[in-house]
Amino acid sequence: MNENLRIAVVGATGVVGREVLSALLDRDVDAEQLTLLASERSAGEELDYGEETLEVEQATPEALKGQGLVLLATPAEVSRTLAPVAQAAGAWVVDVSSAFRSDGSVPLVLPGFNSELLDAPLKGRVVALPSAVTTAIACVLEPLRRAFGVAQVQVTALMGVSSGGNAGVRELEQQTAALLSGREPEAALFPQRVGFNLVPQVGPFLANSPWTEEEAGWTLECARLFAPRGEVPVVAGTAVQVPTFHGHGLSLMVRLKKPAPVEQARAALKGAPSLKVLDSPGEKVYPMPSLVTADPTVHVGRLRSFPQAPEWLTLFATVDNAGRGAALNLVEAGARLADRPA
Ligand SMILES: NC(=O)c1ccc[n+]([C@@H]2O[C@H](COP(=O)([O-])OP(=O)(O)OC[C@H]3O[C@@H](n4cnc5c(N)ncnc54)[C@H](OP(=O)(O)O)[C@@H]3O)[C@@H](O)[C@H]2O)c1
């Protein structure tokens, strides 16, 4: 990235924010270019950045002035407040929260999928990113769609507790310690105990709806991403909070528009740069959250079909939720925006 670009990472102390710093370091962004921001709770905290130590400041309108790029890794309600402030101050803004994903006036961009939107004329200076689960779904569906067409997808997303940020990680640590000591822990962030349990609710339910916001998000975000390709697969499923820390696993049933032998489907997936195919079950090789951490690709494997319904393909995928599913999207989209003429 241009060495004169000033970059603010807002939410730098969070699960995603820390991954953003790691991705910026990988791109050799100089510490001098960075401003790390978070809530007033973290003001004065110090974070490592390579050999350097950077101090976190409170995210105020003043702190957003003079920035060329603002990467928002903050809760949705915070992004709703800060994005317009950063935009008005002249910065390019990329937001990883759900705040703008359903806002038709804000482009929804998945780098590597529809990055070209970042070069097109834009109404404003704010760009939204899809969720980590949508990132994985889109990466798996696109090569299948190109090869065979995709009509419908059923998803069960098994989501590690880092989807709930630092507080989610702490809650599983505390619950596990309590349970191993024979105590029944209280649920705080999560609606039910997640330690040694599975909770089929991630985040709040939509008002007057049996769907959670997370689940409805996959349907809506996939519709927005795929609509320009003239083919919108129906995506629906269940989000389950599971007692792992990092990485999401997705069990996917994909109805193709024409039957595809598994070998052909595997070949289509192998050709996609955003994917790594791990599919040698006889040798115990398949996607697992423990393998995907810090990997920029989505892992996919356990490909199956059955003769009675040859258009259905069953598979399993994993994604590093905070890395590929959030921080890399923020940094890659931000880098491309920052390359635009002012
Ligand atoms: N975790 C994931 O896997 C994932 C994946 C995709 C998208 N996302 C989205 O990414 C965003 C961040 O998630 P996370 O998991 O990193 O959460 P997190 O660990 O809870 O971190 C939240 C960050 O936001 C900061 N923050 C909170 N209130 C603020 C305020 N009023 N002003 C400025 N900063 C404030 C926090 O600062 P303090 O430390 O000072 O509280 C912290 O740095 C969320 O919108 C989430 O939905 C997360």
Rg (CA), the chain: 20
Angle at which helix 165-180 crosses helix 15-26, to 10 degrees, equals 120
> For residue range 233-242, what is the model confidence (pLDDT) as tens digits?
999 999 999 9
Position 341 scores a pLDDT of 75
Nearest CA to ligand 1 atom 36: 11
Place of tokens 């619950």: 175
Domains assigned to the chain: 7-130+326-338 (3.40.50.720), 133-321 (3.30.360.10)
Distance in Å, CA 317 to ligand 1 centroid:
25
- CB-defined site of ligand 1, < 6 Å: 10-17, 38-39, 41-42, 59, 73-76, 78, 96-97, 131-132, 162-163, 165-167, 321-322, 325-326
List the beta strands (DSSP E) in the chain.
7-10, 34-38, 46-49, 52-58, 69-72, 92-95, 126-128, 150-159, 234-241, 248-256, 275-277, 298-304, 312-319
Nearest-angstrom CA–CA distance, 246 and 318: 10
Average pLDDT over the chain, rounded to whole?
97
Nearest-angstrom CA–CA distance, 56 and 294: 24
Residue to probe by mutation, ligand 1, list 9, 10, 13, 16, most atoms within 8 Å of CB? 16
Q: How is 37-81 classified by DSSP, letter by letter? A: EE-GGGTT-EEEETTEEEEEEE--HHHHTT-SEEEE-S-HHHHHH
Position 206 scores a pLDDT of 97
Position 3 scores a pLDDT of 86
Average pLDDT over residues 33-61: 98
Nearest-angstrom CA–CA distance, 68 and 33: 10
Going by the DSSP 8-state scheme, the letter that residue 19 receives in this structure is H
**Percent of the chain's residues with pLDDT above 70:** 100
> For residue range 152-168, what is the model confidence (pLDDT) as tens digits?
999 999 999 999 999 99
Task: Tell whether the model's pLDDT for residue 340 goes beyond 80.
Answer: yes
Average pLDDT over residues 12-35: 98
Half-sphere exposure of 33 (CA within 13 A, CB side): 17
Distance in Å, CA 167 to ligand 1 centroid:
10
Going by the DSSP 8-state scheme, the letter that residue 204 receives in this structure is P
Check: CB of residue 211 under 8 Å from CB of residue 205: yes
Beta-bridged to residue 314, according to DSSP, are 253, 304
CA angle at 240 for the pair 236 and 246, rounded to the nearest 5° = 115
Average pLDDT over residues 61-74: 97
Q: Is 299 exposed, middle or buried (0-12, 13-18, 19+ CB in 10 A)?
A: buried
Nearest CA to ligand 1 atom 31: 39
> For residue range 310-330, what is the model confidence (pLDDT) as tens digits?
999 999 999 999 999 999 999
Nearest-angstrom CA–CA distance, 291 and 143: 22
Nearest CA to ligand 1 atom 17: 165
Average pLDDT over residues 190-206: 98
Position 342 scores a pLDDT of 65
For 220-257, letters b (16+ CB in 10 Å) and e give: bbbebbbeeeeebbebebbbbbbbbbbbbbbbbbbbbe
Going by the DSSP 8-state scheme, the letter that residue 328 receives in this structure is H
> For residue range 117-150, what is the model confidence (pLDDT) as tens digits?
999 999 999 999 999 999 999 999 999 999 999 9
Nearest CA to ligand 1 atom 23: 11
Task: Tell whether the model's pLDDT for residue 289 goes beyond 90.
Answer: yes
Going by the DSSP 8-state scheme, the letter that residue 33 receives in this structure is G
pLDDT band at 1 (very low <50, low <70, confident <90, very high): confident
> For residue range 74-101, what is the model confidence (pLDDT) as tens digits?
999 999 999 999 999 999 999 999 999 9
